[in-house]
Chain A
């Protein structure tokens, strides 16, 4: 993934969207951030692949930041569908949630998530976490 590869954020909470957006800014991340409000919305966006026209880039996302608790289609349901799709299953997914449910954690890892992060309460912590995640995946090679 490069610093221009778009990143898909699946998140229903406005404040958290703002949180991520601000964290991107504060970390001076240049990756375009594509927002989906729930799992189904995210799948719709991905099905338009490789366009992903909501963002400026036409390439598919190099990373998906996924919330668990969402309306219409939650994170786990989204993961299930995503990982069944051979063309999409290679996109790394990082869970970013408030859920400490053991079952959520377990199911997420069963669906091959690349990481599971609890949303930090403090904004400063949030900024730091987002910075670390994105810079890690920027260093990592994408799947062919």
Chain B
């Protein structure tokens, strides 16, 4: 039945509509044929028998009286029946009495009457015999013959009619089927066509025309609705795609631009590199030049100085007052020139020498400087809070303070004065300030003072080379800091300079292994995170017993141990003894809570290198760690 399945819908529909009609018609045809075959013969036979009976009833008289003509006339009446083409009357002897022959009939002879039957069909047609009687006396036999084609013709006519009917009804059925199948098929075809078109063209604006309110109508509605939604989505998608394409386009453009810029930058960097190299070389040359020249200048200058002195010494009697004054002036100028040259030498040496960075106690450096400068008794140095540890070349820091404090001393004219040195914490740098109560500097000179050889004082009797602040600026800037001045005439001056705080292990000695021994888990977590962020390795435990086992298992030799001695479950003395035995080189720093009543007392244990107050910042922690790592001699104290 696959052929049925593969038939087009149109043909299937046609088949559905036409098949019943065809079957009905064929059945009708069959029944007709059957009826004709068996029904019409019986009717014809009955007709002829009735005719024969009626005729023989009348013919009896004619036969009795041998009225042949009358008999013939009567027989002629049979011509009314078109089937009959021959009729005759036979007497008892079988002699023909009278006969009727339809004109054009080809009837030959009267057959013998079969015994026991008065009618039969054969190929020549229907033969009917009927006895002719008169008053109960047999007189002869009436014979009627119908042409075989008579009923056959009828039969054919009937058949033709049936076929015609069949054809007509089939045609009607076809038309109807065609109409019906169009009603069903057209919407489906349209749907299918629309689907195919859409599949091919992707045109979702297509709509199928609805042809009725039946299920197909619903289907069309749904189909159209589906198309509408798809179209909506597609247009939304298209918009999205457009937006994305736009973005992509922009991105590509930006990328191209970026690539171009990168190219340019690389080129520029290359050029810059060459320029920088050139600059560095020239700078080095210049520094060498400055150094060599100033060095070579110094020797003759010393000679001039010596010679002037000898002249003054040996020829004092010969010289008059004016001559002595000139020589004195010459000596002063020589001295000043020497100071200049010394300044240039220092300045150029700054660029040449490498820096020896370490953790320096700036408080200590400042105190040392103040002592060296040998200030008058009336001058006071005020340091409101202890200065922090900084990562610096100690000699340079010394020079910075020396120049700034020296300047402050120099520019304080009144016998009494105060120099205040303090600091603030600015992000990732310390900002130091050196404030004096001196003469102050007019704002228009604020830039000038940092330039080389720009002393604001008159030259008379002054050894200042004017290089001090230039030197300070160079040192501060070489260490990644900045310097500025805040001053008004008569109100004193404040110099500010910054010192960067090393934040990562890159700038410092590197990664340190730290072990935290503290029952406070929050604190431990916080500190661990803090130290890990600084690039250190951290392990921790809440008790020493636990800590011991951790340290025994892990391949972790602590360099620094942070310990809260105030909350230890174990005896602190015992813990420290064991610790020092296990790790003789470990640096122990006590981390005491701000409210720890006996924290400082505990921190006096000789094994504890320093104390630090909780909570602390990353910078402070790192400074402490680096300090402990750099110089494990002496106690470390964190200042707040």
Contacts and interface: CB of A to CB of B under 8 A. Distances in A.
Interface of A: 13-16, 18-19, 22, 69, 98-100, 102, 119, 121-124, 126
Contact of B338 (A14, A18, A99, A121): A121
A121 B303 contact: no
Given A22-B310, A100-B345, A102-B353, A122 B305 contact: yes
Contact of A123 (B299, B301, B310, B353): B310
Nearest to A126: B306
Contacts, number: 37
Interface in B261-316: 295, 298-299, 301-303, 305-307, 309-310, 313
A13 B299 contact: yes
B335 interface: yes
Given A22-B310, A100-B345, A121-B335, A15 B295 contact: no
B302 A98 contact: yes
A18 B309 CA distance: 12
* Interface residues of chain A: helix, strand, loop or mixed (majority): helix
Nearest to B352: A102
Contacts of A124: 309
Given A13-B303, A16-B303, A121-B305, A98 B310 contact: no
Residue from B302, B303, B310 having most chain A Cβ neighbours under 10 A: B302
A122 B306 CA distance: 7
B295 A18 contact: no
A121 B353 contact: no
Interface in B93-145: none
B307 to A, nearest CB: 6
5 contacts: A15-B307, A19-B306, A102-B353, A121-B338, A123-B313
A99 B353 CA distance: 15
Given A98-B295, A99-B295, A102-B353, A121 B302 contact: yes
Contact of B309 (A98, A99, A100, A123): A123
Contacts of B305: 121-123
B306 A18 contact: yes
Contacts of A15: 302-303, 306-307
B309 A122 contact: yes
A14 B345 CA distance: 24
User: Which 10 residue pairs are nearest across A and B when measured between Cβ atoms?
Assistant: A15-B303, A123-B309, A123-B306, A15-B306, A98-B298, A19-B306, A121-B338, A98-B299, A121-B302, A121-B305
Of B298, B299, B335, the most chain A CB neighbours within 10 A belong to: B299
A104 B303 CA distance: 22
Contacts of A121: 301-302, 305, 335, 338
Contacts of B335: 121
B393 to A, nearest CB: 14
Contacts of B303: 13-16
A75 B617 CA distance: 55
Contact of B302 (A22, A99, A102, A119): A119
Nearest to A124: B309
Contacts of A14: 303
A15 B304 CA distance: 9
A16 B298 CA distance: 13
Contacts of A99: 295
A61 to B, nearest CB: 24
A83 to B, nearest CB: 26
B128 to A, nearest CB: 166
- Among A22, A100, A121: residue with most chain B CB under 10 A: A121
A13 B279 CA distance: 37
A98 B345 CA distance: 12
Given A98-B298, A121-B301, A122-B305, 12 more contacts: A15-B302, A15-B307, A16-B303, A16-B306, A19-B306, A98-B299, A121-B302, A121-B305, A121-B335, A122-B309, A123-B310, A123-B313
B577 to A, nearest CB: 46
B359 to A, nearest CB: 24
Interface string B344-379: 010000000100000000000000000000000000
Contacts of A123: 305-306, 309-310, 313
A15 B303 CA distance: 6
A80 B450 CA distance: 44
A15 B309 CA distance: 12
A98 B298 CA distance: 8
Contacts of B353: 102
A26 to B, nearest CB: 10
Nearest to B309: A123
A51 to B, nearest CB: 32
Nearest to A120: B302
Nearest to B349: A100
B324 to A, nearest CB: 16
A110 B303 CA distance: 29
A102 B345 CA distance: 13
A57 to B, nearest CB: 27
B482 to A, nearest CB: 29
A66 B5 CA distance: 125
A3 B338 CA distance: 35
Contacts of B295: 98-99
A104 to B, nearest CB: 11
A12 to B, nearest CB: 10
A98 B303 CA distance: 12
Nearest to B339: A121
A13 B303 CA distance: 9
Interface in B119-177: none
Contacts of B338: 121
Nearest to B302: A121
Nearest to A12: B299
A46 B451 CA distance: 51
A19 B313 CA distance: 13
A69 to B, nearest CB: 8
A82 to B, nearest CB: 23
Contacts of B306: 15-16, 18-19, 123, 126
Nearest to B301: A121
B36 to A, nearest CB: 146
Nearest to B335: A121
Nearest to B308: A123
A100 B295 CA distance: 9
A10 to B, nearest CB: 15
Interface string B172-203: 00000000000000000000000000000000
Nearest to A22: B310
Contacts of A69: 299
